[in-house]
C-alpha cells in the first residue's frame, strides 16, 4: 500500500468541496489565502461545547483529575472573578508566570473567554526579564505560582497565586455563565515571548483565528486517522504534555486542540525525568507523545524501556528543534511505536503550529526532511533579494497561512520587517524545497537551539559586555550530545583584568534565565575578528585559541 498516496487522497476528500474540513479562499488581514470554511470564530465557542462532555477527563496529573464539566465551571467562575474583582475585559492582558499545572490551563481559558489576552511569561525568567515583560505587555493582573512570585520585581499590578487565589476564584461563583464577549477572529488571544535579535524578548501575538485554525488542523488529523479505520475508529486519545505551557507546542498544539477534540491531556510536572515520565505514560495509557530532541536524547540514553507498558502509544513525535537521523534511528529502536509512527516537523513560535510535517512513511523514505506543508500553509524559499527560488535551491524560508501570528506585540517596526505586503512571513531560517519536501539547513543564522529553547547570542553578549573585566564578547553554539547545542562564550578581557568562568557564570545567571548562561568558555586577550565595517566575523569562531 502507498500510505502517503492514500493519506493524500483522504485529506483531499476531507478538505475538498462539501467536505467536513472544506478549504476555501478568504481575505485574512488584507491578503487572500486558504482557510477552513467550517470553523469557530472565537475560542469561547469551543469551550462552551466542551462542557457537554461532563465527566470525561480533560486534565490529568499524577494527583489530579479534572473532567470537562468541572473545567468549564471553574473557567466560568474564574472569569467572573477576573471581570468583577479586577476589571479584566476585552483586550486587557493577564500575565501567567508559573510552572505547568491544570490551573495554568484553566486561567488561559478564563482569560480567552473574556476576550482578554494571555501574556505567557517564561517560567525560567529572572527578575530583570520579568520586569521587562511587565512593562512591555502591561498586564491588568499577574497569575503566578509561589516560586515565581518570589522573583517578581516591585509592581502595582494585582498578583493572584496559583496555589491559593486561583483555586478559590474557581470555586467562588458556582453556576456562573461563561462570558459572551463580541470578539473578532483577528483579535489577539495570547502573547508568547520569543528571544529577539535585538536582545529583548519579542511578544509573538496570536489571534483567535490563529488558534482556531490550529485546532482545525488537529481535528483534521484525527479525522484522517479515523478514515484509515472506518470499522473501528480510534478511541479518544490521551496526550502527554511534557513541555512548558508558555511554548506553542504545549498550549497551542496540545492543551487547546485537545479540548476541542474531547480528548485527555496528561500533564507531567517538574523537571523532565525519563523514568518518571515513562511511568506516567504507562500508568495513564498515553496514546500520543511529543518530545523535543533533548528529551529524545535522554530517552535514548536509557537503552531499554521494556519494563514500561507502552502498548497504548499510537504516535510518537519530535518537535521544536531539528533532530538528527541518528537520534531518530535510536528512538525507533527504543520506542516500539516509533518504528512505524515517528513524526518530525518544522515550525516556529510565530507560525503558531507546525508549518511542515514529515509523516512516518515520508520520514523513513527521506531522512533529513522536515516534511511537506500542512493544509492551508504555503512555503516559499527566497533569495536574499526576495526572488522565489527553484527546486533544490537554498535560501530563506517564507510562510503564509491563517496560522501565522498577527504580529509582535507593541512592536510595529519588527512586525513590518517580518511580513511583506501579501502576508508572507519571513522566518530567517535557511533551507530548500525538494520535490515538495522542506529540508532545513540552519535555524536563524546566529540562533542557538539549546534543548528546545531559542537562545540569541546578542542578549547574552550585552550582559557580558557590561562586566567591568570584559572588553568584548561573542556567544556561539557548540555541539552537545544531550542538548543539541550548548551555549559557549568567547570573552576578551580589558587590559590588566582577570576574571574566572565561575564569576562570569554567576554574573550572567543573576541577569538572565539559567539556560542562557554559557557553560563553555574561552577567556583571553586576543581581540575578536572584525570586518571592514567593524562587525564581528562570526564565521569560524570557536573555543580554540586563535593561531
444 pLDDT tier (thresholds 50, 70, 90): low
Closest CA to 243 of 221, 271, 201: 271
**Phi and psi for 475 in degrees, rounded to 5?**
-110, 135
292 pLDDT tier (thresholds 50, 70, 90): confident
Looking at residue 323, its pLDDT comes to 66
Average pLDDT, the chain: 91
Q: In the chain, what are the domains?
A: 448-524 (3.30.300.30)
Looking at residue 220, its pLDDT comes to 95
Q: Are 536 and 526 in contact (CB under 8 A)?
A: no
* Residue 197: pLDDT over 60: no
Closest CA to 314 of 294, 292, 342, 293: 342
CA angle 389, 394, 398 (to 5 degrees): 65
Residue 41 carries which DSSP code? S
8 pLDDT tier (thresholds 50, 70, 90): confident
Looking at residue 1, its pLDDT comes to 57
Once rounded to an integer, what is the mean pLDDT over residues 346-363?
91
Once rounded to an integer, what is the mean pLDDT over residues 447-466?
84
Look up the pTM and report it: 0.86
Residue 350 carries which DSSP code? G
63 pLDDT tier (thresholds 50, 70, 90): very high
Looking at residue 360, its pLDDT comes to 82
Q: Are 60 and 51 in contact (CB under 8 A)?
A: no
Q: Which residue has the higher pLDDT, 7 or 245?
A: 245
Q: Which residue has the higher pLDDT, 339 or 192?
A: 192
| Residue carrying C-alpha cell 480510534 | 234
- The contacts of residue 143 (CB under 8 Å, 6+ apart) are 94, 95, 96, 97, 98, 107, 159, 160, 162, 165, 166
* Residue 326: pLDDT over 80: no
Q: Are 359 and 371 in contact (CB under 8 A)?
A: yes
Q: For the chain, percent helix, then strand, then coil, each to nearest 5? A: 30, 25, 40
- Cell numbers for 193, please give them: 515571548
Residue 492, strand partner residues: 472, 524
pLDDT in tens, 74-122: 999 999 999 999 999 999 999 999 999 999 999 999 999 999 999 999 9
Looking at residue 455, its pLDDT comes to 85
To the nearest 10°, report the CA torsion of 197, 200, 201, 204.
Answer: -70
Looking at residue 278, its pLDDT comes to 96
* Residue 204: pLDDT over 70: yes
Looking at residue 301, its pLDDT comes to 85
Q: What is the CA radius of gyration of the chain?
A: 23
Rounded Cα distance, 309 and 507, in Å: 45
Closest CA to 91 of 187, 202, 156, 210: 187
pLDDT in tens, 17-59: 999 999 999 999 999 999 999 999 999 999 999 999 999 999 9
Percent residues over pLDDT 70 in the chain? 95
| Residue carrying C-alpha cell 522536515 | 370
205 pLDDT tier (thresholds 50, 70, 90): very high
Once rounded to an integer, what is the mean pLDDT over residues 192-207?
80
pLDDT in tens, 112-169: 999 999 999 999 999 999 999 999 999 999 999 999 999 999 999 999 999 999 999 9
pLDDT in tens, 469-520: 998 899 999 999 888 899 999 999 988 999 999 999 999 999 999 999 999 9
324 pLDDT tier (thresholds 50, 70, 90): low
Looking at residue 533, its pLDDT comes to 45
Tell how strand 31-36 and strand 159-161 pair up: unpaired
- The contacts of residue 172 (CB under 8 Å, 6+ apart) are 77, 80, 81
Amino acid at each position: 500500500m502507498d500510505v502517503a498516496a492514500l493519506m493524500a487522497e483522504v485529506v483531499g476528500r476531507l478538505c475538498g468541496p462539501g467536505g467536513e474540513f472544506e478549504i476555501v479562499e478568504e481575505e485574512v488581514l488584507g491578503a487572500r489565502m486558504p482557510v477552513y470554511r467550517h470553523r469557530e470564530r472565537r475560542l469561547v465557542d469551543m469551550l462552551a461545547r466542551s462542557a457537554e462532555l461532563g465527566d470525561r477527563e480533560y486534565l490529568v496529573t499524577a494527583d489530579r483529575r479534572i473532567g470537562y464539566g468541572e473545567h468549564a465551571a471553574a473557567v466560568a467562575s474564574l472569569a467572573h472573578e477576573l471581570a468583577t474583582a479586577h476589571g479584566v475585559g476585552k483586550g486587557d492582558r493577564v500575565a501567567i508566570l508559573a510552572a505547568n499545572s491544570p490551573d495554568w490551563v484553566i486561567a488561559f481559558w478564563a482569560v480567552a473567554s473574556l476576550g482578554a489576552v494571555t501574556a505567557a511569561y517564561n517560567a525560567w525568567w529572572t527578575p530583570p526579564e520579568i520586569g521587562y515583560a511587565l512593562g512591555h505587555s502591561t498586564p491588568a493582573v499577574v497569575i503566578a505560582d509561589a516560586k515565581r512570585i518570589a522573583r517578581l520585581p516591585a509592581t502595582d499590578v494585582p498578583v493572584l497565586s496559583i496555589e491559593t487565589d486561583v483555586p478559590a476564584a474557581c470555586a467562588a461563583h458556582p453556576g456562573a455563565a461563561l462570558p459572551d464577549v463580541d470578539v473578532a477572529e483577528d483579535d489577539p488571544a495570547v502573547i508568547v515571548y520569543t528571544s529577539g535579535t535585538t536582545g529583548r524578548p519579542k511578544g509573538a501575538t496570536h489571534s483567535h483565528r490563529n488558534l482556531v485554525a490550529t485546532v482545525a488542523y488537529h481535528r483534521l488529523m484525527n479525522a484522517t486517522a479515523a478514515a484509515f479505520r472506518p470499522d473501528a475508529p480510534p478511541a479518544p486519545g490521551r496526550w502527554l504534555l511534557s513541555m512548558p505551557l508558555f511554548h506553542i507546542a504545549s498550549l497551542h498544539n496540545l492543551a487547546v486542540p485537545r479540548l476541542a477534540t474531547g480528548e485527555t491531556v496528561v500533564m507531567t510536572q517538574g523537571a523532565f525525568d525519563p523514568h518518571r515520565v515513562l511511568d506516567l505514560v504507562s500508568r495513564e495509557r498515553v496514546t500520543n507523545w511529543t518530545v523535543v530532541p533533548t528529551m529524545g536524547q535522554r530517552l535514548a540514553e536509557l537503552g531499554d524501556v521494556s519494563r514500561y507498558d507502552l502498548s497504548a502509544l499510537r504516535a510518537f513525535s519530535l518537535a521544536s528543534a531539528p533532530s538528527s537521523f541518528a537520534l531518530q534511528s535510536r528512538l525507533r529502536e527504543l520506542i516500539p511505536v516509533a518504528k512505524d509512527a515517528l513524526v518530525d516537523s518544522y515550525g516556529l513560535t510565530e507560525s503558531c503550529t507546525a508549518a511542515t510535517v514529515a509523516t512516518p512513511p515520508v520520514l523513513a523514505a527521506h531522512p533529513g526532511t522536515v516534511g511537506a506543508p500542512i493544509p492551508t500553509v504555503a512555503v516559499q524559499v527566497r533569495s536574499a533579494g526576495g526572488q522565489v527560488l527553484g527546486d533544490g535551491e537554498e535560501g530563506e524560508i517564507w510562510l503564509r497561512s491563517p496560522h501565522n501570528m498577527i504580529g509582535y506585540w507593541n512592536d510595529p517596526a519588527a512586525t513590518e520587517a517580518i511580513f511583506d505586503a501579501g502576508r508572507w512571513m519571513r522566518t530567517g531560517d535557511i533551507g530548500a524545497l525538494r520535490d515538495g519536501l522542506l529540508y532545513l539547513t540552519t535555524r536563524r543564522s546566529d540562533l542557538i537551539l539549546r534543548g528546545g529553547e531559542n537562545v540569541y547570542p546578542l542578549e547574552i553578549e550585552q550582559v557580558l559586555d557590561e562586566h567591568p573585566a570584559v572588553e568584548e564578547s561573542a556567544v556561539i553554539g557548540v555541539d552537545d550530545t544531550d542538548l543539541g547545542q550548548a551555549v559557549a562564550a568567547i570573552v576578551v578581557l580589558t587590559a590588566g583584568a582577570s576574571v574566572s568562568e565561575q564569576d562570569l557564570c554567576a554574573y550572567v545567571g543573576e541577569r538572565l534565565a539559567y539556560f542562557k548562561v554559557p557553560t563553555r568558555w574561552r577567556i583571553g586577550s586576543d581581540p575578536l575578528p572584525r570586518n571592514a565595517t567593524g562587525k564581528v566575523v562570526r564565521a569560524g569562531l570557536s573555543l580554540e585559541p586563535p593561531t
